[in-house]
Amino acid sequence: MIMSEKCKQHVDSCRFCWMCHHICPIGNATGQERNTARARALGISLVNREAIDLSEIMDNIFECCTCGACVHDCVTGWDPVMFTKETRLQAALEGKLPEYINTLVANCLETGNAYGKTETCEALTEAIKVHADKKDTLLFLGVDAKFMVCKQALKAIKVLDKAGVDFTVLENEAPSGVQLDFLIGAANETKAQMEACAKALGEFKTVVVYDPNDAKAIKQLYKEYGIEVNADVVTYTSFVAGLLRDGRLEAKNTGKAVVFQDPYQLSRDLEETEEAREIVMSYAVLGEMLLNRAETVWAGNILMAQYMPEIIKKVASRRIFNATSIGADTIVTASVSEYASLKAVAANVEILSIEDLILGE
Amino acid sequence: MNYQMNEFLFAMILTELEDAVGKENCSTRAIDRVTHSVDYYWLSRMWADRGCRMPEADIVVCPENAQEVSKVLKIANYYKIPVTTWGAGGGTQGGAIPVAGGIVLDTKRMNKIYEVNTEGMYIECGTGAIYKHIEWAANEVGKATMHYPSSLTCSTVGGFLAHRGIGVVSTKYGKIDDMVLKMEVVLPNGDIIETCSAPKHAAGPDLNQIFIGSEGTLGVITKAQIRIFDQPEERRFRGFLFQDMHGAFQASRELLQKFKPSVMRLYDEAETASLIKKIVGVERKGAFMNIAYEGVKEMVEVEEKILLETFAKYGAEDLGSEYGEKWWKEKITFFYPGHMMDIPQMFGTMDTIAPYGKIEEIYWAMKEAIETNFPQAKFIAHFSHWYEWGAMIYDRFIVEGKDVPEDPVEALRLHQAIWTCGVRTALAHGAVVNDHHGVGIKLGRLMKEQYGPAMQVFEGLKKTLDPNGIMNPFKLGL
């Protein structure tokens, strides 16, 4: 397998290192030894030494959620996410992607989203029409919210409406490219999607990105790809926290006790941890799980649930256990994808989005 | 196995195991077999580095509880299939490598935390729980496990129990065998047993201690009650520099008659000049020693006074708290790639233990034996677990990559020769095969040399409990 020297160095360092064994949300949920950074590195290193075929490790390579918990935990700075993504790219180039991944990639290329969806729910379609006129501010919903959790997308719009924000929502929103980046890494197709999206975003003065996954892509990954966005890009949480500070949204603390699930894209990648807390504390009483902020534990997503639904349920259940073990009965999320994952398995615990809290729904 | 395995029979056995633990928890995939074939043992790493596949299990099974383990062992016993228990693979002795093929029984699905009991001060958990996870559970209620080895994040409760592990605050809080109240064990025949409800009793020999350290050769420990402690009100550090290690031994022996610090770590001059200089920043010549003392604040004040007075008597230079605090912060950093020895180097830790009357002699004898017989090897050591009666040596040999044979078999032979030389020297001077990493396949051949006729006690247990010899074959010298 062709692999950059940098990645090979990281692979060969991680293959015999167990130090982040405790931190992988997938590994902790499944109890499978292969769901560790060192197992993936060992597999790749053996592929590099022609002791095993790339196709034999690819399922495992796609079991990584790329949340970066292992990267964050490593005191030396080794980066399992980097070599995992490069391996995905190489597998794509060598035609060795698993079939279920090929399907998702094909969907991304044909429809802009891995789910192959072309239509949103009726209420969201109407709401988008209402905000079709070009304004200075764009609310970027992202494919997960738009196609898979449209009720939350609708609420995201309602919150900005409530604050009297004048904004646009695009009917034909370009995909951020974050799904392709996850599936096949830095391929030409990924870059092309990102460039098209950046161009569309550049038409606006301010872009408010609803989904932290898209926010990570646009604010961080685009720079790595050498793509510029000629707009002020802000996360939804930081924008809404600003609306509260400016008095455009009214704080109304109900005294409800909640814990906050930090999306790793915000807390680890974009180092944004307090804005969401400002919002939560305006409407509820905030408690903290032991692993919070940059130490957060990923709670699942919609994309991986397409090909490993049972594992994603286990991941979400384990995070709910973290909350309930400290006595919490309500979890607030700022990630539409984690919201969907947690909601799918929540039995004795309430899952709320930031928007739910603000709207009192 | 005394019969030829064939495709048909293999498929039949696989369906039985799938029935026992669920299809999704039973794997023959290459990635699972490969992943469970390489642990932290240098030889397995070297073998993989050379592009060779280590011996692999035929089937990896992941049971959820003792009942499922019982089913697996009954099947394995019937077909006489080897069973190697795997925790998280962080062991250094090759104890978890399925050298005879067969089944690898991965315990990590048995990771449930059943109870955090702040009255009885224990956590009851499945032995597949990563130790760091039970530390988190203790922290959530303001307590701590006080078991902090460098492998805290990468070893399971069962792994520590199987190999008699130890952490950095052991001098005050004890070794893993001091941390256990009660255990559930599945015997090789599938029977599920429980040890006594309290660890200190006169109801015969201590069943806990029969299975702790048995490395999966006598059964599978599936559940344990692990002690937890109040967080100390205060934890203080003090670094010292001794001109020679003799003074440090004398000072430490006297100190331990007065009180028990939590951390006691003495580095020889070679390790002070290398690892301690690099990570903690001590740039002075001599033997660095770090002491931590903790607990109720008033007691800590008194302990500090005793420490300073005692160590001053033996000429220790007080370096203040800064280096000690830095050491605490970086205590696990030592073991990350980039800081730790790694391939292409060859290395090994021959940790051993002995009473004070012998420990210095053992250190010098091992150093001379290694450096004389293997001039390409460097010998460094620290002394990291201390008792009123003696201490352990964490002595390591390092051979630089240029001196390590590229041929894997030749590299294996050199590795074996250095180990045999080092451990035999330790045994000849009154030490033991190992202090806290265990025996595994690495040191099994030396167990009889240590125990002599006493080995028949272990062999008798093995023969009675595991007459078919299916449990972790070729480990522990059994």
Q: Which domains does chain A have, with CATH numbers?
A: 5-97 (no CATH), 122-241 (3.40.50.1860), 251-359 (3.40.50)
Edge-to-edge, what's the strand order for the sheet holding B122-126? B113-117, B122-126, B220-227, B180-186, B192-194
Global ipTM? 0.95
DSSP B279-298: II---SSSEEEEEEEEESHH
Q: ∠ at Cα A67 (B339, A56), nearest 5°? A: 85
Q: Residue B396, CB half-sphere, CA atoms under 13 Å: how many?
A: 26
pLDDT tens by residue, A271-291: 999 999 999 999 999 999 999
| Cα separation values, A21 from B43, B145, B420, B475, Å | 21, 19, 31, 25
Q: What is the pTM of this model?
A: 0.96
Q: Give the model's confidence band at A93: pLDDT under 50 very low, under 70 low, under 90 confident, else very high.
A: very high
pLDDT tens by residue, B213-222: 999 999 999 9
A310 in contact with chain B, both atoms CB, cutoff 8 A = yes
Which residues of chain B neighbour A22 with C-beta distances below 8 Å?
130, 132-133, 153-154
CB contact (8 A) between residue A50 and residue B51: yes
- Helix, strand, coil percent values for chain A (each to nearest 5): 55, 10, 40
Which residues of chain B neighbour A60 with C-beta distances below 8 Å?
31
Judged by DSSP in three states, B394 sits in strand
B457-466 as b/e: b if 16+ CB within 10 A? ebeebbeebb
A288 in contact with chain B, both atoms CB, cutoff 8 A = no
Which residues of chain B neighbour A290 with C-beta distances below 8 Å?
136, 139-140
Which residues of chain B neighbour A23 with C-beta distances below 8 Å?
153
Q: What is the pLDDT of residue B5?
A: 86
Which residues does residue B347 pair with via DSSP β-bridges, in sequence order? B398
pLDDT tens by residue, A209-225: 999 999 999 999 999 99
Which of B71, B186, B79, B10 has its CA nearest to residue B468?
A: B79
A78 in contact with chain B, both atoms CB, cutoff 8 A = yes
CB contact (8 A) between residue A31 and residue B109: yes
Q: Give the model's confidence band at A83: pLDDT under 50 very low, under 70 low, under 90 confident, else very high.
A: very high
User: What residue in B sits closest to A57 (Cα-Cα)?
Assistant: B31
What does the alpha-carbon distance between residue A262 and residue B85 come to, in Å, rounded to a whole number? 36
CB contact (8 A) between residue A31 and residue B337: no
What does the alpha-carbon distance between residue A141 and residue A145 come to, in Å, rounded to a whole number? 6
What does the alpha-carbon distance between residue B289 and residue B279 come to, in Å, rounded to a whole number? 14
Q: Which of B31, B89, B132 shows the shortest C-beta gap to A60?
A: B31
CB contact (8 A) between residue A325 and residue B137: yes
Which residues in chain B are classed under CATH 3.30.43.10? 7-106
What does the alpha-carbon distance between residue A20 and residue A43 come to, in Å, rounded to a whole number? 17
Q: Which of A22, A23, A75 shows the shortest C-beta gap to B333?
A: A75
Residue B11 CB neighbour total at 10 angstroms: 9
pLDDT tens by residue, B50-67: 999 999 999 999 999 999
Q: Which residues lie below 8 Å from residue B208, measured CB to CB, with a gap of 6+?
A: B177, B180, B182, B183, B195, B196, B199
* Average pLDDT of the residues of chain B: 96
For chain A, what percent of residues have pLDDT higher than 70? 100
CB B124 within 8 A of CB B175: no
Q: How far is A63 from chain B (nearest CA, A)?
A: 12
What does the alpha-carbon distance between residue A102 and residue A125 come to, in Å, rounded to a whole number? 29
A65 in contact with chain B, both atoms CB, cutoff 8 A = no
Alpha helices, DSSP H, located in B282-407: 297-313, 322-329, 356-373
CB contact (8 A) between residue A33 and residue B35: yes
Q: How far is B180 from chain A (nearest CA, A)?
A: 21
For range B163-172, the mean pLDDT: 97
Q: How far from each other are the two terminal CA atoms of chain B, in whole angstroms? A: 17
CB contact (8 A) between residue A23 and residue B153: yes
Q: What is the pLDDT of residue B1?
A: 58
Which of A80, A73, A92 has its CA nearest to residue A42?
A: A80
Q: Which residues lie below 8 Å from residue B383, measured CB to CB, with a gap of 6+?
A: B245, B264, B265, B266, B359, B391, B392, B393, B394
A58 in contact with chain B, both atoms CB, cutoff 8 A = no
Q: Is the pLDDT of residue B323 over 90?
A: yes
Residue in the structure block whose two tokens are 């604040």: B297
* Backbone torsion region of residue B144, taken as left when φ is above 0, otherwise alpha when ψ lies between -120 and 50, otherwise beta: beta
When scoring A1, A9, A17 by the number of chain B Cβ atoms within 10 A, the one with the most, hence best to mutate, is A17
For range B288-307, the mean pLDDT: 98
Topology (CATH level 3) of domain B113-230: 3.30.465
CB contact (8 A) between residue A42 and residue B29: no
For range A318-345, the mean pLDDT: 97
What tokens were used for A283?
């409407």
When scoring B21, B23, B24, B34 by the number of chain A Cβ atoms within 10 A, the one with the most, hence best to mutate, is B34
Which of B205, B306, B310, B304 has its CA nearest to residue B253?
A: B310
Give the CA radius of gyration of chain B. Answer: 23
DSSP state of B310: H
Strand B180-186 with B220-227, pairing: antiparallel
The residue among A357 and B333 whose pLDDT is bigger is A357
Q: Is the pLDDT of residue A52 over 70?
A: yes
Q: Give the model's confidence band at B4: pLDDT under 50 very low, under 70 low, under 90 confident, else very high.
A: confident
Q: How far is A212 from chain B (nearest CA, A)?
A: 27
For range B337-349, the mean pLDDT: 91
Q: Which helix (H) or strand (E) holds A161?
A: helix A150-162
pLDDT tens by residue, B354-390: 999 999 999 999 999 999 999 999 999 999 999 999 9
pLDDT tens by residue, B423-475: 999 999 999 999 999 999 999 999 999 999 999 999 999 999 999 999 999 99
CB contact (8 A) between residue A34 and residue B45: no
Q: What is the pLDDT of residue B338?
A: 82
Which residues in chain B are classed under CATH 3.30.465.10? 113-230
CB contact (8 A) between residue A18 and residue B89: yes
CB contact (8 A) between residue B52 and residue A51: yes
A18 in contact with chain B, both atoms CB, cutoff 8 A = yes
Q: Is the pLDDT of residue A301 over 80?
A: yes
Q: Which of B88, B140, B336 shows the shortest C-beta gap to A290?
A: B140
Q: Which residues lie below 8 Å from residue B413, measured CB to CB, with a gap of 6+?
A: none
Q: How far is A53 from chain B (nearest CA, A)?
A: 10
Size of interface A-B (CB pairs under 8 A): 121
CB contact (8 A) between residue B132 and residue A22: yes
CB B170 within 8 A of CB B385: yes
CATH assignment, B7-106 = 3.30.43.10
Judged by DSSP in three states, B54 sits in coil
Q: Give the model's confidence band at A326: pLDDT under 50 very low, under 70 low, under 90 confident, else very high.
A: very high
A174 in contact with chain B, both atoms CB, cutoff 8 A = no
Q: Minimum mean pLDDT among B184-188, B279-283, B313-317: which range?
A: B279-283
What does the alpha-carbon distance between residue B37 and residue A33 come to, in Å, rounded to a whole number? 11
Q: How far is A116 from chain B (nearest CA, A)?
A: 28
pLDDT tens by residue, A152-209: 999 999 999 999 999 999 999 999 999 999 999 999 999 999 999 999 999 999 999 9
Q: Is the pLDDT of residue A54 over 90?
A: yes
- Helix, strand, coil percent values for chain B (each to nearest 5): 40, 20, 40
| Torsion A314-A315-A316-A317 (CA) sign | positive
Q: How far is A234 from chain B (nearest CA, A)?
A: 34
Exposed / middle / buried, residue B285 (Cβ in 10 Å: 0-12, 13-18, 19+): exposed
When scoring B21, B24, B31, B36 by the number of chain A Cβ atoms within 10 A, the one with the most, hence best to mutate, is B31
| Torsion B145-B151-B156-B158 (CA) sign | negative
Q: Give the model's confidence band at B2: pLDDT under 50 very low, under 70 low, under 90 confident, else very high.
A: low
Strand B83-86 with B59-61, pairing: unpaired
CB contact (8 A) between residue B35 and residue A325: no
What tokens were used for B381?
């050591």
For range A298-324, the mean pLDDT: 97
Q: How far is A43 from chain B (nearest CA, A)?
A: 7
Topology (CATH level 3) of domain B234-335: Alpha-Beta Plaits (3.30.70)
Q: How far is B16 from chain A (nearest CA, A)?
A: 20
Which residues of chain B neighbour A12 with C-beta distances below 8 Å?
343
For range A46-64, the mean pLDDT: 97
- Which architecture characterizes domain B346-463 according to CATH? 2-Layer Sandwich (3.30)
Q: Which of A33, A45, A326 shows the shortest C-beta gap to B140?
A: A326
Q: How far is A313 from chain B (nearest CA, A)?
A: 15
CB contact (8 A) between residue A76 and residue B339: yes
Alpha helices, DSSP H, located in B82-125: none
Q: How far is A179 from chain B (nearest CA, A)?
A: 25
| Cα separation values, A325 from A157, A328, B113, Å | 34, 7, 10
CB contact (8 A) between residue B336 and residue A18: no
DSSP B400-454: -GGGS-SSHHHHHHHHHHHHHHHHHHHHHTT--S-SSS--TTTSHHHHHHHHGGG
What does the alpha-carbon distance between residue A314 and residue A32 come to, in Å, rounded to a whole number? 12
User: What residue in A sits closest to B330 (Cα-Cα)?
Assistant: A75
Q: What is the pLDDT of residue A1?
A: 86
Which residues does residue A258 pair with via DSSP β-bridges, in sequence order? A286
User: What residue in A sits closest to B63 (Cα-Cα)?
Assistant: A31
CB contact (8 A) between residue A14 and residue B139: no
